[in-house]
Amino acid sequence: MTDARETAAETVLRTTGGGPPDDAATGVAVDGAPIPLLEPREGIPPVVADEHALAEVVAAFAAGTGPVAVDAERASGYRYGQRAYLVQLRREGAGTALIDPVGCPDLSGLGEALGGAEWILHAATQDLPCLRDIGMVPDTLFDTELAGRLAGFPRVGLGAMVETVLGYALEKGHSAVDWSTRPLPEPWLRYAALDVELLRDLRDSLEEELRGQGKLEWARQEFAAIAAAPPAPPRKDPWRRTSGMHKVRRRRQMAVVRELWTLRDKIAQRRDVSPGKVLGDAAIVEAALSLPANVQALSALNGFGQRQGRRQLEQWQAAVDRARALPEDRLPQPGQQVTGPPPPRAWADKDPVAAARLTAARAAVTALAEALNLPPENLITPDTVRRVCWEPPAEPTAEAVSAALAGYGARPWQVEQVTPVLVGALSAVEKG
């Protein structure tokens, strides 16, 4: 392993609490245990919740230098949707800021002030949608989680990366709390501020790690692709993702799931609560399988009899009744229309040669990923491999395979690495 991990193993610091010293890159204690990071370097900053305080933050961060560490906290499992309830930033010369997007719902001015600066995020694709909703969109970014994957780290959560690379232990006990709570408790704010405390140090160490492994350009291409990606389109038929949906086989039952899911979503949105707090997926599936004929039968099902008033039960039963009354031509089809290849499990029956291509290609990609010390899905997406194997080029030449990979969105570094092994796998099956 190259410099980042070697340095983390060798450097000794004698600080036992509080923030790291300004010139410290790592924090491994004398006995080799990571040092707990207990307090932000400048303490917990006040929460910015009004336009005047926001203007001061915008000015400070516009005057700062270098990349800016960015994080966001959502209230998944508590509130409807994935909006941000706290935004944390840190930049050299500006310190750390904690911003309340409820009090300051438009952060486009801050986003503009950071124009041209590199944003450092951990698992960027998780935070970018909620940041985009409040007007914050990076021009360039560095994703420390993705960098860890490309560098071959076995654990890439923020806490694990900070511990492995920098030698500090982050307290992660508040990651799943209800961040819509107001006022936010001080321990939560401390946790939030610490999440951006070391992102710059982590970014710099990972950059050196990737450079030493010859993967820095790969990472840059990945980061550029994330920054340039448009917002994801709305999911088609989201009710089909109900947990336990695999048990629902008949179209009439599917209609019950669709009606209950749609009603639940409307109620959850109106009440601004997580849909699971309105009605659980298991209850939806049980109602679909049982097709209850009346409220009494519905109330006997798990998930409906407990804490459900008569009026609530009647609205759920009305949804079931709507599904029961639908004519056959309005019932949902058994599966979503597939635009790509069929599920791999069906390949052996539909096209045995394609199945052989996929088996050979998967083995070749896995072997290459192991040699490069990175996850196969980061080397090339499984969907891309499936599409190339289902409809391969007429002639599996390097030029044709490269063009196919690029057409499916593979980055240049992926095309360069994967093309030779796919050509070999496709050619072997064709000759066999």
Q: Helix (H, G, I), strand (E, B), or coil: what is residue 17? A: coil
Mean pLDDT in residue range 87-106: 98
pLDDT level of residue 305 (50, 70, 90 thresholds): confident
Cα–Cα distance for residue pair 286/255, rounded to 1 Å: 13
Q: What is the pLDDT of residues 351-379, one digit of tens each?
A: 999 999 999 999 999 999 999 999 999 99
DSSP codes of every residue in 319-381: HHHHHHH--GGGSPPSSPPPSSPPPGGGHHHH-HHHHHHHHHHHHHHHHHHHHHTS-HHHHS-
What is the overall mean pLDDT for the chain? 92
Angle (CA) 133-156-90 rounded to 5° is 50
pLDDT level of residue 171 (50, 70, 90 thresholds): confident
pLDDT for 31 beyond 70: no
Mean pLDDT in residue range 387-407: 97
Tokens of 37: 């990071």
pLDDT level of residue 10 (50, 70, 90 thresholds): very low
C-alpha 289 chain-centroid distance: 32
Mean pLDDT in residue range 142-162: 97
pLDDT for 27 beyond 90: no
Closest CA to 58 of 94, 14, 84: 94
pLDDT for 21 beyond 80: no
Cα–Cα distance for residue pair 203/184, rounded to 1 Å: 28
Cα–Cα distance for residue pair 375/153, rounded to 1 Å: 10
CB atoms within 10 A of CB 385: 24
Mean pLDDT in residue range 387-399: 96
Computed on alpha carbons and rounded to an integer, the radius of gyration of the chain in Å comes to: 26
Cα–Cα distance for residue pair 51/103, rounded to 1 Å: 8
pLDDT level of residue 431 (50, 70, 90 thresholds): confident
Tokens of 380: 């090339």
Of 32-41, 81-90, 205-214, 384-393, the range with the lowest mean pLDDT is 32-41
Q: 3-state DSSP helix/strand/coil percent for the chain, to nearest 5?
A: 55, 10, 40
pTM above 0.75, yes or no: yes
Cα–Cα distance for residue pair 103/279, rounded to 1 Å: 30
Q: What is the pLDDT of residues 183-239, one digit of tens each?
A: 999 999 999 999 999 999 999 999 999 999 999 999 999 999 999 999 989 989 999
pLDDT for 65 beyond 80: yes
> According to the model, what pLDDT value does residue 70 have?
98
Cα–Cα distance for residue pair 276/377, rounded to 1 Å: 30
CB atoms within 10 A of CB 312: 15
| Percentage of the chain modeled with pLDDT above 70 | 92
pLDDT for 8 beyond 90: no
- Element at 417 (helix H, strand E): helix 412-431
pLDDT level of residue 16 (50, 70, 90 thresholds): very low
